[in-house]
Structure 1
Amino acid sequence: MKKALMIAAAAAFAMGAMAASADASALGKCKACHNLDSADKKVGPGLKGIAGGKQGALEGFKYGSYLKAQNAAGGVWDDAALEAWVCGSKDVAKAAGGKSKMPNQKVCGDDAKAAVAELKAL
């Protein structure tokens, strides 16, 4: 009986470690509000294919004034724009005189670069 309990405990520990490593993705915070598997929206627009795409362009989504203006101006989600956005979307929008519906995620520096790399791989 002890052996069976030890095996079960070890299996549970291993499964917990695998789940934790899966959530260690640079896009971990994004998954709460964004669909990563498609362009379908959740609370926010889906992120599959967003990298390199036009800002504020997903049909049927109500963007804040900043992304509406970026869309009209032909703004593109390049690496720099994505890194700045995941670090401080409200700060980026405010600096340009606009507003963002997305809260600042504070995924900055190397973490932002890792998030952008994952977005490009979606």
Structure 2
Amino acid sequence: MVLTSNPGFAQDAAKGEQVFKQCMTCHRIGPDAKNLVGPALTGVIGRQSGTAPGFAYSALNKAAGENGLVWTDELVMAYLPDPNAFLKKFLTDKGKADLATGSTKMTFKLDDEQKRKDVIAYINKFSEKK
């Protein structure tokens, strides 16, 4: 995998690895990662929402992906504070308010901006940006 960074983000991947421990309740990351309660996050940056192989996504998450949501650093930053609100707004902004129903399986919220930046830096260690 390619380590990438976004110059607009002051990131610390080592700190992000510590933050990611909270995510490990539901997610794994790395070459041998498997889906758990949440999908494996290896390669998530640059991937269409709702398409990790072998994971049963919520209708909300699949609808967002089918309507153009491809994960970037910036979109993950916006997603982590409130996953449900983010996906519903994404679909509504795409003119698909009728699909902005239900909820994602992700109940965890990460409000702290620096922790989000750091965890994104860590996740990027396992993603190939396109």
Detail structure 1 runs of 4+ shifted over 6 Å in the superposition: 21-24
Structure 1 or 2, whichever has the larger Rg, is 1
Question: For 1:30, which of 23, 30, 34 is the aligned residue?
Answer: 23
Cα deviations by residue, 1:38-83 (Å, 9 ceiling, x for unpaired): 4520111001111121111112222122211122123111012111
Alignment-derived partner of residue 124 in structure 2: 120
1:86–1:108: 8 Å Cα contact kept in structure 2?
no
Alignment-derived partner of residue 51 in structure 1: 45
Amino acid paired to 1:116? I
Aligned-partner Cα distance in 2 for 1:22–1:83: 16
User: Which structure features the higher share of helix residues?
Assistant: 1
Alignment-derived partner of residue 5 in structure 2: none
Question: For 1:76, which of 67, 70, 94 is the aligned residue?
Answer: 70
* Higher normalized contact order (CA 8 Å, seq sep 6+, divided by chain length): 2
- After superposing the two structures, state which structure 1 stretch, 28-37 or 59-68, moved more: 59-68
1:39–1:49: 8 Å Cα contact kept in structure 2?
no
Question: For 2:61, which of 45, 64, 67 is the aligned residue?
Answer: 67
> Share of identical aligned residues, percent?
25
Deviation at 1:112, TM superposition (A): 0.8
Amino acid paired to 2:117? K
Alignment-derived partner of residue 9 in structure 1: none
SS at match of 2:19: coil
- Scaled by the length of structure 2, the TM-score of the pair is 0.67
Aligned length: 102
How large is the RMSD of aligned CA atoms in angstroms?
A: 2.4
Aligned-partner Cα distance in 2 for 1:76–1:44: 17
SS at match of 1:28: helix
